Structure 1
Amino acid sequence: METADLKLASDDDVAAASWIKPRLSRAFGAVTRHVPQGYAAYVRICHPAENDAGQQVTWSTVAAATGRQAHPTMQWHALVGSPDSLDMIGSLWPGDNPRRGELDPPTLATLCGALAPHTATPETCYFSLWEGHGWLPDGIPARVHHDYRSYILFTGPLHAAQQLGFHPRPDWFIPQSPNLFWPADQAWCVATEIDFDSTLVGGTSELVHQLLSEPALDAWPVNPDDSLAADADLINLIG
């Protein structure tokens, strides 16, 4: 797991994660159950889907194809007309579903590029990885504990977010985006909950405006108390 840029957290580093838990809401499905309260603005980045030709597409493209409506708190299963939020039984979409629990590498790279100018500490960042990833080596302790998840903590510069992952063999690397990451100055925070097919970012209004303007990101403005639970899509109702 360790590289020249990414290392396991020390005791002092773990203390640097203590600010997050007190700022997490307990409201089920809420944006701020996953990314801390107190930021000026929040954005939801929907993970790309793929069409039947293997090309990445936005959720708006899918909504146009399925006769649904794209909106900030849309849910994928409702967008594709399935009553099943897990297995997508009866889906109207012929392509692949968005990834859950991780950003694909190009989207993560675009996000990190947009985040970098909005922190004074891009060389000192913290990356939390959910302890339940099956590929993690035995013996690495989870040292950051929230009410509903425990994480292994790493440190490094912002670009090291793209170094997390594993080697099934020496010539093959499978990346895994962080489940939670932030800079030392706490200027923003990014959360990719393992059960979600979207990523949440809290930060300044200027940062969120930039993310919403980035054509490579399928980004939507959300409020701290907005729900992203499976039943939150009240526009694309099923049945």
Structure 2
Amino acid sequence: MRVLLGSHEGEWLERRLHGWGAVGGVVGTGWDAYARILHPLEGRLLDWTDRGEGVVPRVADERAWTWTQVAAAVGATMHPEVQYGSLASREHETSIGAWEVRPPQDGWLEPALLARLAPLLAAGTSTPDDAVLAVWEGWGNLRPDSGMVVIAWEGDGEAPPAAVPEPPAVSPEVTRALTDPHLLRLPGRTYLRITCALSELEDPDWGFELGIGWSRTWGRDPSPQLIWPRDRAWVLGTEIDLDSTLVGGSRALIDAILADDAFEAFEVTADSDLTYRGDAVNPPRASSD
């Protein structure tokens, strides 16, 4: 895995991107089939009983939630163009019984899910050892010197090392790739490019060694916005403003994704509307944000 400099990889995709807010505007038109993978949710079970610890509420349990579970709880209908904002708040946690469920994260496919997806993607191309990742150049973690973190420590002496957060790690190669001549420019977005074997993505920690802004403190962020193999057999897209990941490719690849119960996924079309207006089934949610 290495950063690409002076490459033209990905420029071919521009002529296939059509339809702002549509699937084809993210992964391109002309594929045999398309899948939409919904980003998972995180839920916390809260215990409001004060057991003398002075901390209320206490987190009694944590687990992943699906959009389907939230829809069932609020009486909504799941369908290929469902929008999370039609089910619950996109800005704040939603209370479901004693649980608080966080909204899905935009522009980020959980590395563990990408690791599960990687073998399916590899089986769908003749060049599994030669793929390209594109990461949006606007992520703050790619430029850690541009921000500031304030740490408060209460105790005797200096803060222990464990109390000091690990800053995002950005390699010199990534910093160099962020300069103008080396970036991939597509409509509305600019990316740095990385070449890899798809098998490398089966390790959820792949980004730490590469130095793309991941941190043991802040998490495995950013994730790739686009992935494609050199033979251009498919494209995966995790658009920064969308809460789902899209794949356009062969019928066999999409069927394999839809059949894997690790993913909460729907088949969509190039014209499927993924904007907040795209949910024509569920009524607009009364905002309390």
TM-score by length of 1: 0.87
Structure 1 distance, partners of 2:116, 2:214, is 23
Residues 38-84 of structure 1: per-residue CA shift (max 9 Å, x gap): 1100000000012224211221111111111111000001012x4xx
Structure 1 distance, partners of 2:275, 2:195, is 30
Q: Does 1:136 align with 2:174?
A: no
Residues 81-127 of structure 1: per-residue CA shift (max 9 Å, x gap): x4xxx5258x4553111111111121111111221111110110000
Structure 1 distance, partners of 2:10, 2:268, is 24
Name the CA shift for 1:65/1:101 in 2 (closer, same or farther; >3 Å): same
Q: Secondary structure, in 3 states, of the residue corresponding to 2:105?
A: coil
Tell me the amino acid that sits aligned with residue 91 of structure 2.
Answer: D
Per the alignment, residue 3 of structure 2 pairs with: 8
1:191 and 1:199 in contact (8 A); partners too? yes
Structure 2 distance, partners of 1:99, 1:107, is 13
2:141 and 2:214 in contact (8 A); partners too? no
Q: Following superposition of structure 1 onto structure 2, how do residues 79-228 of structure 1 map, counting pairs within 5 Å?
A: 79-80=87-88, 82=89, 86-88=90-92, 91=94, 93=96, 94-137=100-143, 138-139=175-176, 140-141=178-179, 143-161=183-201, 162=204, 163-164=206-207, 165-168=212-215, 174-228=220-274
Per the alignment, residue 35 of structure 2 pairs with: 43
2:3 and 2:194 in contact (8 A); partners too? yes
Name the CA shift for 1:183/1:68 in 2 (closer, same or farther; >3 Å): same
Q: Secondary structure, in 3 states, of the residue corresponding to 2:70?
A: helix
Q: Secondary structure, in 3 states, of the residue corresponding to 1:102?
A: coil
Deviation at 1:23, TM superposition (A): 0.5
Structure 2 distance, partners of 1:193, 1:173, is 19
Q: Secondary structure, in 3 states, of the residue corresponding to 2:114?
A: helix
Q: Secondary structure, in 3 states, of the residue corresponding to 2:283?
A: coil
Structure 1 distance, partners of 2:139, 2:214, is 14
Moved more, 14-23 or 194-203: 14-23
Q: Which runs of 5+ in 1 are unaligned?
A: 1-5
Tell me the amino acid that sits aligned with residue 185 of structure 1.
Answer: D
Q: Secondary structure, in 3 states, of the residue corresponding to 1:110?
A: helix
Q: Secondary structure, in 3 states, of the residue corresponding to 1:122?
A: coil
Q: Which structure has the larger Rg over C-alpha atoms? A: 2
Q: Which runs of 5+ in 2 are unaligned?
A: 46-61, 144-174
2:214 and 2:222 in contact (8 A); partners too? no
TM-score by length of 2: 0.73
Name the CA shift for 1:28/1:92 in 2 (closer, same or farther; >3 Å): farther
Q: Secondary structure, in 3 states, of the residue corresponding to 1:135?
A: helix
Moved more, 128-137 or 153-162: 153-162
Name the CA shift for 1:172/1:58 in 2 (closer, same or farther; >3 Å): closer
Structure 2 distance, partners of 1:76, 1:152, is 29
Tell me the amino acid that sits aligned with residue 73 of structure 1.
Answer: E
1:77 and 1:88 in contact (8 A); partners too? no
Please, which of 17, 26, 29 is the counterpart of residue 10 of structure 2?
17
Structure 2 distance, partners of 1:65, 1:72, is 19
2:108 and 2:240 in contact (8 A); partners too? yes
